[in-house]
Amino acid sequence: MTEREVTSLALKLFAIYVLVQMILAIPTLIASLVTAKEILGSDISALWLWGASVAAVIVGLVAAVFLWKVASKTLSKPTSGTRESFFSSIDAAVLSALGLFLVVQALVRFSYVSAGAYVQYVRVEPGELPLQTAVLMVAHIIEGVVGISLILRTDGWVSLFRRVRNAGVSS
């Protein structure tokens, strides 16, 4: 297999993984929202919980379709003597896909944690937000920032990993 075919196959497998994760998130999402509705009632201000949760899953599904299309495009371009690709190497493709996964995962998990925090803050323990919930929210924000960094600064991450991989090796 050529480098292009391996990259395309890896991206397609990753797209399938993201798609399955988003489909598996739907039952958890429904259970969480039903529980929140029982606690909050039919309060209109709580509609953002539904919107944020559904938006996070839709973003994940769109990301899976996008990854699949990118993988198909890498194979559809004719291979000539030059390297014409979306990515300069397999490392860049893998890091970009990882970044996309981290962003989607951070969105989904942050929506769950923020919904739980809203329920805790408004109904269960008014005026208090547990430290663990706050730390989880910050952790998912950091996860999203790292994912965005992997997508936008792929070349910097690739060069960093190459320097680390070659550290201590004489040239």
pLDDT (tens digit per residue) in 108-146: 888 878 877 777 777 666 667 778 888 889 999 999 999
b/e per residue, 25-40, with b = 16+ CB within 10 A? beeebeebbeebeeeb
- Please state the φ and ψ torsions of residue 32, each to the nearest 5 degrees: -65, -40
Spatial separation of the C-alpha atoms in residues 93 and 70, rounded to whole Å: 10
Map tokens 């497998």 to a residue: 13
Spatial separation of the C-alpha atoms in residues 107 and 40, rounded to whole Å: 23
As a whole number, mean pLDDT of residues 74-103 equals 68
As a whole number, mean pLDDT of residues 6-34 equals 79
Which pLDDT does position 42 carry in this prediction? 63
Which pLDDT does position 84 carry in this prediction? 45
Spatial separation of the C-alpha atoms in residues 99 and 156, rounded to whole Å: 13
The tokens describing 121, both together, are 């803050």
- Domain range annotation of the chain: 3-165
Would you give the DSSP letter of residue 45? G
Map tokens 């803050």 to a residue: 121
Which pLDDT does position 145 carry in this prediction? 94
As a whole number, mean pLDDT of residues 20-40 equals 75
pLDDT in tens, 35-88: 766 666 666 556 666 777 778 778 888 888 888 888 787 767 655 544 444 555
Full-model pTM: 0.60
Say if CB 150 and CB 102 are below 8 A apart.
Answer: yes
Spatial separation of the C-alpha atoms in residues 96 and 101, rounded to whole Å: 9
Would you give the DSSP letter of residue 125? S
For residue 123, give the amino acid letter.
R
Is the pLDDT confidence value at 154 over 80?
A: yes
Which pLDDT does position 149 carry in this prediction? 92
